[in-house]
């Protein structure tokens, strides 16, 4: 019989010293992803497991005028229960689309962002909002833009042996946000992905335009975004079709089906800017 050793650190510093001592140990937050697809009577767990869900330091919420900071072990339900001013609409839309209420009661926001097999459903919304994540390991703590957790090919790049401790989400005014889950409904699959959009205009000029799409691969075309920004609205038909072509070209890394869906959603977003 396989035996797993389960560690239950009492606080963050004990967790970090455990992680230093056991670099191969698996962090267990809500466990919904780790235990998914284990339908037999006895579950199989990795040999070294560190339970982090109840650590107080990872369950805090801090709110300022400019951002909200979420502990990684807040459950999706707890985040959804935050007051409206602390919960960006795009994030709320993404959270409501994850699994079912009983799963959301266990699943954590950190676990959603730290899953390495693919990008889960909260990732594109927070990538679109340019959220920062605090990563901790033996060498200390650092904040990075969530988008950096995708490698140059757009594949998940969450580093091994690292704790995601907090997520800092800028609180900004958006004139338009949209989120669509495409492909098979339910658990994220090979042919599913999430599209997230946020845009803001100031005095008739496009001040912000961000578009993220992620499933097995993530797409966020900052160079195209920076060329759209600063344009007077509505976009001309010529501008609109030129940007649509750029997004379509970038989508060739996706499966044909996802590329088609992505193209349609981009057309919808550019249509919004052309009205």
Question: Which chain residues interact with ligand FAD by CB under 6 A?
Answer: 26-34, 36, 72, 98-99, 103, 106-108, 110-112, 114-115, 120-121, 163-164, 187-188
Short-list 120, 96, 130, 122, CA closest to 200: 130
CB 46 within 8 A of CB 6: no
Q: In whole angstroms, how close is the CB of 208 to ligand FAD at the nearest point?
A: 25
CB 57 within 8 A of CB 71: yes
The SS3 assignment for 84 reads: helix
Axis-axis angle for helices 237-250, 256-273 (nearest 10): 160
- Determine the residue with CB nearest ligand FAD: 111
Cβ closest to ligand FAD, residue 43 vs residue 205 = 43
Q: In whole angstroms, how close is the CB of 94 to ligand FAD at the nearest point?
A: 8
Q: Say how far apart CA 228 and CA 208 lie, in whole Å.
A: 9
Cα angle 241-247-252, degrees, rounded to a multiple of 5? 125
Q: In whole angstroms, how close is the CB of 259 to ligand FAD at the nearest point?
A: 21
Cβ closest to ligand FAD, residue 44 vs residue 236 = 44
What DSSP state is assigned to residue 58? G
Q: In whole angstroms, how close is the CB of 274 to ligand FAD at the nearest point?
A: 32
Cβ closest to ligand FAD, residue 31 vs residue 154 = 31
Q: In whole angstroms, how close is the CB of 230 to ligand FAD at the nearest point?
A: 34
Cβ closest to ligand FAD, residue 34 vs residue 68 = 34
């Amino acid at each position: 019989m396989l035996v797993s050793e389960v560690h239950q650190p009492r606080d963050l510093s004990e967790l970090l010293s455990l992680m230093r001592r056991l670099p191969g140990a698996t962090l267990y937050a809500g466990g919904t992803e780790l235990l998914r697809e284990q339908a037999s009577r006895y579950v199989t767990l990795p040999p070294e497991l560190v339970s982090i869900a109840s650590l107080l330091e990872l369950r805090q919420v801090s709110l300022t005028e400019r951002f909200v900071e979420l502990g990684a072990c807040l459950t999706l339900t707890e985040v959804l229960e935050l007051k409206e001013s602390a919960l960006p609409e795009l994030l709320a839309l993404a959270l409501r689309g994850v699994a079912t209420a009983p799963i959301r009661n266990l699943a954590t926001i950190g676990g959603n962002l730290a899953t390495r097999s693919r990008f889960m459903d909260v990732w594109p919304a927070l990538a679109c909002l340019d959220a920062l994540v605090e990563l901790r390991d033996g060498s200390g703590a650092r904040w990075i833009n969530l988008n950096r957790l995708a490698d140059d090919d757009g594949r998940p790049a969450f580093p091994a042996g690292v704790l995601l401790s907090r997520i800092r989400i800028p609180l900004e005014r958006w004139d338009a946000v949209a989120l669509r889950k495409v492909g098979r409904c339910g658990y994220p699959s090979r042919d599913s992905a999430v599209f997230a959009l946020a845009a803001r205009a100031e005095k008739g000029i496009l001040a912000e335009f961000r578009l993220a799409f992620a499933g097995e691969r993530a797409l966020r075309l900052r160079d195209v975004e920076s060329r759209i920004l600063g344009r007077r609205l509505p976009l001309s038909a010529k501008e609109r079709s030129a940007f649509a072509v750029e997004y379509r070209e970038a989508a060739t890394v996706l499966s044909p089906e996802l590329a088609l869906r992505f193209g349609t959603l981009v057309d919808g977003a550019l249509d919004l800017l052309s009205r």
